[in-house]
Every structure is written in structure tokens, then in C-alpha cells.
Amino acid sequence: MHMTGPVSVDAMIEDLRTLVEVESPSRDVDALTASAKAAAGVLERRLGGQAVCVESPGGPHVRWSGGGDPRVLILGHHDTVFPLGTLARRPFTVAGGRVTGPGVFDMLGGLVQAVHGVALLEDRSGVEILVTSDEEVGSPHSRALIEERALACGAVLVFEGAAEGGALKTGRKGCGTFEVTVTGRASHAGLEPEAGVNALVEAAHQVLAVAALGRPEAGTTVTPTVASAGTVDNVVPARATVVADVRVATAEEKDRVEAGFAALTPHVEGAGISVRGGVRRPPMPESASAGLFALARRLRPGIEGRAVGGGSDGNFTAALGVPTLDGLGAVGGGAHADHEYVVVDTMADRAALVAGLVEAIRNT
């Protein structure tokens, strides 16, 4: 492998600071526009060429290509879950061997490692980098572009944060959200409750029916998470909603759970039910990562692989049958939490792993 020189951890931290200090909450198009420009700047400064901002209703995505026939897609995102103002409360900090700040682990640290890994290669042909703006909200505006480029490249490396202990993510559950809306009829709770149709009582039945769709022994969890009903305390509620989080390990379970939601029926006479949502991220089977994980094990014999419950854009690419390896990003923890961190001593080796994987893929 022809490399340009050793990884500079100081330069990686400098780039990570640049990205973190441009806050990028999902759905805030103005903030994401600024974040996309910052990401494009890092790509161009470290890799040369031109990073193109692709406009979308959810904010700009950023694309870079090393030219030549596409062989490997490096996939990441620049949106984060933290609202504007988080940086003032929790500024970018390097101390005690850790980098902290909003988005360092999920997933700006991984993005920086990927860029510096590709920068190690003298020949960057066949490499594409796609940094999307809406991963944290389900990738509604980037999915088609992700799938298009994954099919064109034929292999995908996803730079979400590593699993515990630095393990790569070799499988992911499919995930989705369902909302069950119950309609009833309002009436005075004291004068004529019998004239109403109690949406809250119906919702209670639906919570139990929804929870019963879970099948933990098959890796399927169906968890009611949010419920609301009613307006004031002396009115029979005419409307209620129940929201459920769903995780499935197989396509068959995805179909079963979606059919189960579609088949929900009212228990209270006069009540109506409607359901929206679905398993938007299909499962990422471990078979999708097997070949790429074997390459990673050759480069780092001690590295582990782990199937996890959370979803990523790798779910989409794996579902297309494109070989996909995830969890190549930062080693650390605390995703979506105030204690989010990246372990500094791991950054250079993870960047070097990127370079090795790209070279191995191009040689297969």
C-alpha cells in the first residue's frame, strides 16, 4: 500500500474541532447548510478535489470522489441530535485522553477518521465519500442517493461509532416507529359519559395489543413509548395516540410486525383506529458484512464484530445486497448523551484501518 505518511492526530483533532463547533441539529436547514460547508472544507483541504453539496429539503449532503471507477462508498452523516446552544454548555474539549463535545462520537469523529484514512492513500481512485444531513431522523431525503451510490460502488464502509471495546458492527436490527391513532366521541364525563366513546380506554387496549406483537426470542421488540389522550378532566376523550418503537432482526419479522399493526381492531364499540409508520430501516444481516469483516480481521487480527440493536444508513445498503461493514468510526461512547466522548489514542489506528480496507477492497 502506497501511503503519503503517518497520521497526524493533532490534525485530526483540529478537523474534529472544526466540525463540532458548527452545530448541526437535524431538520435545521440553516445550521446544516453551514455544517455541510464545514465538512466540504475538511474534505477538500485533506483530500484535494471538489466536495459537492447536494441540496435536499432536509439540508445539504456532501459528496466527494477520488475519480476512476467507483469501488467503495464511505458513508457518514453530519447532522446530530443536539439542539442549537448545546455547544455553549458543553464545548469541544480535549482532556484526559478523551475528546468531548456534541457529536464527537456520533459521528463526527468517525467522519474525520475516514477522511484522514483516505488521505493516507497516494491513489484515491475508486473511493467515494457521502456525508448526509438527515441520518438521525431516518434519512428520508438521502436514502435514494445512498442506495444509488452503494449500488454503483459495490461495497460500503459506514463510519458510525464503534461498538463497545472498539468492535465493528457486523449486523443491525431493522427499526421503525408506528403511531396508532384512536378516534372516539366526546361527551360530559359527569352528565352523560355513556354518550361518549372513550378513546383513552380504547388506547389502553391497543397498548396491550401492540406490546403483544413483540417476540424477544426472535430478536423482535415492540415497545410502546409515547401516549396521549384527552383535553380536560371532565370530558370523555375523543382522541388518543400511541407510539411504539419496533426493532426486528429479520425481514420475516418485519413483515409479521407490519401485518400485526395493520390488523389492529377496536375493542370499544364506536371507536376507530388508524395506523401509520413502518420499519423504515430494514435489518442488516450479518451475512452482508461477512466478507468485509474478514478483510478487517486480516488487517487487525484481534478486532471483534458485534450485531447491535440500533439502525444506521448501513441498513439500507445491506438490504440491497451490497457488502456493508459498520462501526468503523470513533472508539468511545455516550452517543446522544452529555458524556459523549472519543478515545484519542485510538484515532490514528482507526484511520489507518480505513486505508487498509480501501486498498484490500480495490485489490479483490
Residue appearing with cell numbers 454503483:
152
Q: What is the pLDDT of residue 3?
A: 63
Positive or negative, the CA dihedral 288, 116, 71, 320 is positive
Q: Write out 151-168 in H/E/C secondary structure.
A: HHHCCEEECCCCCHHHCE
Specify the pTM. 0.91
pLDDT band with cut points at 50, 70 and 90 for residue 6: confident
Q: Is the pLDDT of residue 60 over 80?
A: yes
Confidence of residue 291 (pLDDT cuts 50, 70, 90): very high
pLDDT in tens, 148-162: 999 999 999 999 999
> In which region does residue 165 sit, left (phi positive, over 0), alpha (psi from -120 to 50) or beta (all else)?
left
| pLDDT tens per residue, range 95-142 | 999 999 999 999 999 999 999 999 999 999 999 999 999 999 999 999
Is the pLDDT at 91 greater than 80, yes or no? yes
Q: CA–CA distance from 39 to each of 35, 50, 64 (Å)?
A: 6, 12, 11
The pairing of beta strand 221-229 with beta strand 156-158? unpaired
Confidence check: pLDDT of 1 > 60: no
Closest CA to 336 of 7, 9, 82: 82
Domains and their CATH numbers in the chain = 9-173+284-362 (3.40.630.10), 174-281 (3.30.70.360)
> Is the pLDDT score of 168 beyond 60?
yes
Q: Looking at residue 241, what is its pLDDT?
A: 98
d(CA 277, CA 120): 43
Tell me how far apart the alpha carbons of residues 36 and 51 are, in angstroms, rounded to a whole number. 10
Percent of the chain whose pLDDT exceeds 90: 98
Q: Using one digit for the tens of pLDDT, what is the confidence trace for 65-74?
A: 999 999 999 9
pLDDT tens, residue by residue, 171-182: 999 999 999 999
In whole angstroms, give the CA distance from residue 134 to residue 140. Answer: 7
The single-letter code of the amino acid at 192 is: E
pLDDT at 2: 62
Provide the annotated active-site residues: 79, 135
